[in-house]
Amino acid sequence: MQHGQHIPTMDTEKIWKEVLASVRVSISSANFSTWLSKTFIYSTKTLGEDRQFVEIGCPSPFIADSIEKRYFGLLQDSLNQITGLTNDLSFLVKQKPGLKKNETLLEPLFTNPVPSEEVFSNTLKYARVRPGFTFENFAVSGTNQMAWAAAEAVSENLGHAYNPLFLWGGVGVGKTHLMLAVADRALRKNPDFPILYCMGEEFTTEIVDAIRTKNTIAFKNKYRKLKLLMIDDIQFLAGKNAVQEEFFHTFNTLQREGGQIILTSDKPPSEIEKLEERLRSRFEAGLIVDISPPDFELRTAITLIKAQERGFELPMEIAQAIAANIDAARKIEGFITRLFTHTQFAHEEITIEVVHKLLGTSEQQNSGFKKHTSPQDFINAVATYYSIGKRRLLGTNRAQTVALPRQVLMYLLRIELRLPLQEVGRIVGGKDHTTVIHAVEKISKNLSVNGGLRDDLLGIKKTLSV
């Protein structure tokens, strides 16, 4: 078969179904749905008696890149076992055959929020739920996958799946987004569903006002008849005895009547000081999920999503440049707004040079590389910059003085030249693709906090500039 020729045969469809069935038992259902459910064998090419080249179609560039990083070995092993051949895999962006002309694939990472009708918008407003926060536009990675799966489970079975659901983590990790996504889905199923979202501070203020005005009956009627109560920053109730007393009774009433409770905090219940023990025990009786700060992969996905919500598509290299320099989701959103505004008013196209300018990175980085910069050029530049021999750089020495330059080299080959993981590993002394993933993630994470490392990369890039 010819390379690039699409072959929608029953054999390949059957083989890939078997591969996916085999892989599915090894990963979570949420990860399977997010990354693998829309993939298919696009083409194959015989390379020898017992070897073939297989192209796997994926619905988006980010999903193709993420599958290669996460599941390359798992898919390859399964395909080798099922076909009895040695398979070389490649991932490309292709639409799955069989879709109608105007049919689109729904992808969790890249689907735009569904525009709200006027009635639905009013329903959200009455429930104090901000529009636009859905499961479909929530980017998923290893740092938040458990929280995403738990929130989805709650949305499908309110009051029964995990009650209460307690999400905790730092600022901007997606706690509120997931909480509001549950509300959005519940209200789309039933606009009359009694739901309310509020901040811990707002809840406290309402209780204090109700006590002051002797109107606690109205307060109780408002909160204890809900089917879904969401309180953001529940730690704000700690130390306020009257507020905790009322919330304790509200919590018990809602649970007894089958209502769902979702809470968020910057700490787990065990670490919230001055929280009554009876409340702590009730929080811990549900599901507690921590959400870590977004890794490089997730920050890239968030960048692409926020840009798409603004109505423009970002090339992967630009999204990765932003993700490598900004470490928080809210900061990314703010930068995308700034980028959009700047290019609109300046009538400029969105280029890597403009992004670097707004990020405040060095002008040398903006100048780009020579037209035919090769992997060997990067090897020479890294070896020269760190004053180590190329043999040591590409060898197995794990000393920090060698390991860091080697990781920088892998990062540059992967991010700047966009070479496949396996190719990067082959160039850098025959390293496994998981080693390359680790190196890229480590350098990407440290770039946002380590000014010395950023200077190193700028210095290396300067030697490769025109």
Q: What is the pLDDT of residues 133-154, one digit of tens each?
A: 888 888 887 778 889 999 999 9
The CATH number assigned to the domain holding 256 equals 3.40.50.300
pLDDT at 302 over 50: yes
Can you give the pLDDT at residue 113?
A: 42
Picking from 276, 291, 306, the residue at the C-terminal end of a domain is 291
Can you give the pLDDT at residue 363?
A: 35
What is the extent of the structural domain holding 152? 118-291
Q: Are residues 176 and 300 in the same domain?
A: no
pLDDT at 364 over 60: no
pLDDT at 111 over 60: no
Query: Is the model's pTM score more than 0.85?
Result: no
Can you give the pLDDT at residue 404?
A: 92
Q: Are residues 355 and 226 in the same domain?
A: no
Residue located via tokens 């045969």: 9
Mean pLDDT on 153-177:
89
Q: Are residues 398 and 449 in the same domain?
A: yes
Is 426 a member of any domain?
yes
Q: What is the pLDDT of residues 286-297, one digit of tens each?
A: 999 998 888 777
Can you give the pLDDT at residue 33?
A: 74
pLDDT at 244 over 70: yes
Confidence of residue 322 (pLDDT cuts 50, 70, 90): confident
pLDDT at 35 over 50: yes
Q: What is the pLDDT of residues 193-211, one digit of tens each?
A: 889 999 999 889 988 888 8
Picking from 337, 360, 383, the residue at the C-terminal end of a domain is 360
What's the whole-number average pLDDT of the chain? 82
Is 204 a member of any domain?
yes
Q: Are residues 284 and 308 in the same domain?
A: no
- A 10 A CB-CB count for 229 gives 23
Confidence of residue 120 (pLDDT cuts 50, 70, 90): low
Torsional class of 258: left (φ above 0), alpha (ψ -120 to 50), beta (otherwise):
left
The CATH number assigned to the domain holding 445 equals 1.10.1750.10
Q: Can the peptide bond before residue 194 be classed as cis, meaning omega within 30 degrees of 0? A: no
| Number of domains composing the chain | 4
Can you give the pLDDT at residue 229?
A: 94
Is 322 a member of any domain?
yes
Q: Are residues 147 and 208 in the same domain?
A: yes
Confidence of residue 39 (pLDDT cuts 50, 70, 90): very high
Q: Are residues 280 and 330 in the same domain?
A: no
Q: Are residues 349 and 321 in the same domain?
A: yes
Distance CA(44)–CA(334), nearest Å, equals 44
Is 98 a member of any domain?
no
Picking from 262, 291, 320, the residue at the C-terminal end of a domain is 291
Which position has the higher pLDDT, 305 or 106?
305
Mean pLDDT on 233-241:
91
Q: Are residues 150 and 205 in the same domain?
A: yes
Residue located via tokens 């898919």: 75
Mean pLDDT on 42-70:
84
Confidence of residue 188 (pLDDT cuts 50, 70, 90): confident
Confidence of residue 37 (pLDDT cuts 50, 70, 90): confident
Q: Are residues 196 and 270 in the same domain?
A: yes
202 touches 234 (CB < 8 A): no
Q: Are residues 189 and 226 in the same domain?
A: yes
